Amino acid sequence: MRTAIFPGAFDPVTNGHLDLVKRMTGLFDTVIVAVIAGRDKSAMFTCEERIELFREAVKELPNVEVEQLEGLTVEFAKLRGAVAIVRGIRGGGDFEYEFDMALMNRKMAPSIESVYLMTNHEYIYVSASRVREVSQLGYDVEGLVPSHVRTAIRERLALEA
């Protein structure tokens, strides 16, 4: 069985993230979305909320699991028996960062490959941080995130108002 890890903060999950996961399901037997547990002060959602939002987004995909990630991604991948860590690439800046990370991961776990998927052109400008930023400025993020995430963002912003 070929398992891949897709790590990230996913604060919030975007349609770009979902597009990547859907494409991964055709490449791997199991895709584990690993939601990073960090406590970022600028986070919109807690780790538990991000996990639930992602689970709702992939509930129709039978070979996708969503779990919390604490510690090093490469160690998490080893524990899950993964053959690959998959990352989305939007442009050159993403690649430079991911390339350096891949070299470190290879040093720690030579048997785990780093796999990069190019972001579909319709999502190349979409990032979770941009979604947070524009939503906090009052922009409607319809089309950038799944509808249930859009609702969760609206509810969160209403609570903070």
Q: What is the DSSP string of 56-92?
A: HHTTT-TTEEEEEE-S-HHHHHHHTT-SEEEEEE-SH
Q: What is the pLDDT of residue 39?
A: 66
Whole-number pLDDT of residue 82: 98
Percent of the chain exceeding pLDDT 70 equals 98
Judge whether residue 92 has pLDDT over 80: no
What six digits make up the tokens of 92? 């050159």
Give me the sign of the Cα torsion angle 75, 79, 81, 86.
Answer: negative
Percent of residues, the chain, with pLDDT higher than 90: 85
Cα(119)–Cα(22) distance, integer angstroms: 12
Residue 161 has pLDDT above 80, yes or no: no
Radius of gyration of the chain measured on its C-alpha atoms: 15
Please state, in angstroms and rounded to a whole number, the distance separating the CA atoms of residues 20 and 88: 7
Token pair belonging to 36: 């990073």
Token pair recorded at residue 90: 């939007």
Dihedral (C-alpha) 52, 57, 59, 61: value to the nearest 10 degrees?
-130
CATH fit for domain 3-160, picks 3.40.50.280, 1.25.40.10, 3.40.50.1000, 3.40.50.620: 3.40.50.620
Q: What is the pLDDT of residues 22-35, one digit of tens each?
A: 999 999 999 999 99
Can you tell me the mean pLDDT for 82-104?
89
Instruction: Identify which has the larger pLDDT, 157 or 41.
Output: 157
Is pLDDT of 77 > 80? Answer: yes
| Whole-number pLDDT of residue 91 | 77
**pLDDT, tens digit, for every residue of 2-50?**
999 999 999 999 999 999 999 999 999 999 999 999 767 679 999 999 9
Q: What pLDDT does 64 receive?
A: 99
Residue 97, pLDDT score: 84
